[in-house]
Amino acid sequence: MTNSEFPRRAAMAFVLCVLPALVVLARAEAVQSIKGAPASFTAECSSCHMAYPPSLTGKANWRGIMAGLDKHYGVDASIDSKTQQEISTWLLANAATSARQAAASPEFRITRSDWFIRKHDEVSASVWKRASIKSAANCGACHSGAARGDFNEDGVRIPK
Ligand code: HEC
Ligand code: HEC
C-alpha cells in the first residue's frame, strides 16, 4: 500500500467498522432498564404512570422526588419509610451518571431536563396537549417501547 492510499483506507475502515459500532452503542443507550428493581418499586411507582427507569435522571432529582412523596405533583404518593428507603437505595444506585442526563431540573422532573427538552424540540406545544397524550410525562403515548424502557426514535409514533 502506498502512502497516499493509507488515509483513504483508514477512512474506509472507520466507516465500515467503527461507525456501525458507535451506532450500536448509541442505540443501546436508548434502552433504559428497570431490571433488578425491588418488587416495591413496581408496586408503588407504576400505578399512576409507567415505572420510570432510574437511569432517565440523576441522583439529585430522585432524592428530591423521594423526599416529597406526600406532595407528589398534586397527589399523595407517600409510602412507609422502610419501603421508601428500599426504593430510594435502588433508584440512586441506578441513576444516570453522565453530567448531561444527571443534571437536576425544575420540580425534579425528567420532562424538564435540558436533554429531554432538546430531544423533543420537534414536538410542538399543541401536540403535547392532545387528549391522546395529555402530558410529556406520558412517555408511552408516543414511545411504543416505553414500558420496556425502549425510547429509541424508531419506536416513536405520535398519536392523533
Ligand atoms: C397516586 C399516584 C402516583 C403514585 C403512586 C406515584 N406517582 Fe409519580 N407522578 C404522579 C403524577 C400525577 C405525576 C405528574 C404527571 C404529569 O405531570 O403528567 C407524577 C410524576 C412523576 C415523575 C415526573 C415525571 C416528569 O414529568 O418528568 C416522576 C419521576 C415520578 N412521578 C416518580 C414516581 C416514583 C418514583 C413513584 C414511587 C415512589 C411514584 N412516582 C408514584 C402520580 C403518582
Ligand atoms: C408527544 C410524543 C412524545 C412523548 C409523550 C414523549 N416522547 Fe420522547 N420522543 C418523541 C419524539 C418525536 C422524539 C424524537 C425522535 C426522533 O429523533 O426522531 C423523542 C425522543 C426521545 C428520546 C431520544 C431517543 C433517541 O433515539 O435519541 C428519548 C430518550 C425520549 N424521547 C424519552 C422520553 C421519555 C422518558 C418520555 C416520558 C417521560 C418521553 N420521551 C415522552 C416523542 C415523545
Dmax of the chain from CA atoms? 72
Q: How far apart are alpha carbons 148 and 129 in whole angstroms?
A: 24
Encode pLDDT of 70-106 as tens digits.
Answer: 999 999 999 999 999 999 999 999 999 999 999 999 9
Q: How far is the CA of 99 from the centre of ligand 1 (A)?
A: 23
Q: How far apart are alpha carbons 143 and 50 in whole angstroms?
A: 12
Q: How far is the CA of 54 from the centre of ligand 2 (A)?
A: 16
pLDDT of residue 14: 59
Low-confidence residues in the chain, pLDDT < 70 = 1-7, 10-30
Q: DSSP for 98-150?
A: SHHHH---GGG-GGGSHHHHHHTTTS-HHHHTSTTT--TT-GGGTBTTGGGTB
Q: Which protein residue has the closest C-alpha to ligand 1 atom 1? A: 77
Answer whether 0.85 is exceeded by the pTM.
Answer: yes
pLDDT of residue 82: 98
pLDDT of residue 15: 62
